[in-house]
Amino acid sequence: MTMSPLTNQGMSCIANSADQPGEALNEAERTRLFSDEAYTLKSQGRLEEALGPQSMVHQRTREAGDWNNFCRSAENIVSLLTPLGRWAEAEAVSREAVSVANSIGDKQERWQRTTTALAGLGYTLHGRGYLKQASTAYNLAEVVQAEAHHHPKLYSIYGYNYAQLLLEQACQETGWREVLERRHTSLDIAVKLNHALSQALDHGTIGLARAALGEPDTVLALDLAVTTMQRAGTIIHLPAMHLARAHYQRSRHDIPAARADLEAAQTIAQRSNMRTYRAECALLGGNLFLDEARVPEAAAHYASVAQLILEDGYGRRLTELHLLYARLLHAQRDPAARQALADAQARIREAGQWYFWRELRAVAGEIAAPDPGECPAARV
């Protein structure tokens, strides 16, 4: 992990500013300074640098047997590793947090850390493409939260991440309306708490659910997601809000608006080396180029995103990668396009990622392949 250039000097500088020698700091104070440094770097979008001091926090809390703060640190490490595309590492960190959360002495803290550790595991499993296992982890998180809290459903970042999974597992109105209802409840909590980050995430999910339902006020929610996240100043989540709106604008055939949001997301992702968002930007960019019949540019984007997804194990996006490849091969007049479409269908069935069945049918129509028919999950 990359060590921050501030790490070696940070403690003594802060200590000296308080007229206190660095050596006089006790272990708890040293750990807090590492934590503060990691937080500052993360807020600036310097994620790789933030991993150094955050890893020091993780190590120190483990050595001290401070399992409550160890689990808190695990949450922070996962929030750094996942946008950087280090999904397998993030899963390992989450699993360790789940395994030690039960060792926390305080009952309330034990419940809370167990909930967040399970939710974090669900998120990393979803990212790696294991949707069924992710669903199990999220369900367990909500069981624990229901026992300990008067809000039985996950909310804020954990609720947002779970909602993304639920959206992808649904293929009809009932499932999407369930997500919409969940996020409205979560938004009410976020407004009462005046928590801008949670509000932005909820607006984003509401927009995605409305888009799936074809509701006319979708763009209002997505606009609120972007502007509220900008107000929250949380760089790490801003690309997701821009990309959500960009996908919707593409579905409305507003290519210039989609490109504007795509470029905003790309700028942040490139600057902070957020490989996960770089992959998502390349996916969308490739499709936009194909919409404009710009095949060489689309091919370059496909090559880029395929490399990122396969290197990082970002299995969540494999279905979309296959669909992009089918469109690209068709544009290149390559008969292998139908096999790429079949690969996409097989991946949807394997992962239970039924949200993309409509896109599968649309691509089938575009490449003159047989219609896959109604979503199988809708008949269950």
Specify the pLDDT at position 155. 85
What pLDDT is attached to residue 148?
80
**Half-sphere exposure in the Cβ direction for 269 (13 Å, CA):** 24
pTM of the model: 0.92
pLDDT at residue 8 in the model: 46
Q: State the pLDDT at residue 186.
A: 86
Going from the C-alpha of 196 to that of each of 48, 77, 150, 189, the distances in angstroms are 25, 22, 21, 11
Q: What is the pLDDT of residue 380?
A: 55
How far from chain centre, in Å, is Cα 175?
Answer: 20
Run of H or E including 356: none
In the chain, the amino acid numbered 205 is T
Rounded distance between C-alpha atoms, residue 332 and residue 262, angstroms = 25
Q: Which residues of 245-276 are buried (b: 16+ CB within 10 A; e: fewer)?
A: bbbbbbeeeeeebbbebbebbbebbeebebbb
Question: Would you tell me the crossing angle of helices 67-81 and 27-43 to the nearest 10 degrees?
Answer: 20
Alpha-carbon gap, residue 152 to 143, rounded angstroms: 8
Distance (Å, rounded) from C-alpha 335 to C-alpha 367?
A: 10
The predicted structure's pLDDT at residue 38: 95
Q: What is the pLDDT of residue 27?
A: 80
Give me the pLDDT at residue 11, please.
43
List alpha helices for the chain, DSSP H.
7-17, 27-43, 47-64, 67-81, 87-101, 107-127, 131-148, 156-169, 173-193, 196-213, 218-232, 238-251, 255-271, 275-291, 295-312, 318-331, 337-351, 357-366
Looking at residue 372, the DSSP 8-state letter turns out to be -
Digit-by-digit pLDDT tens for the chain (380 residues) are 444 444 444 444 444 444 444 455 678 888 999 999 999 999 999 999 999 999 999 999 999 999 999 999 999 999 999 999 999 999 999 999 999 999 999 999 999 999 999 999 999 999 999 999 999 999 999 999 998 876 788 988 999 999 999 999 999 999 999 999 888 888 988 898 899 999 999 999 999 999 999 998 999 999 999 999 999 999 999 999 999 999 999 999 999 999 999 999 999 999 999 999 999 999 999 999 999 999 999 999 999 999 999 999 999 999 999 999 999 999 999 999 999 999 999 999 999 999 999 999 999 999 999 999 999 987 65
Q: Which CATH superfamily does the domain covering 1-12+25-37+47-145 fall into?
A: Tetratricopeptide repeat domain (1.25.40.10)
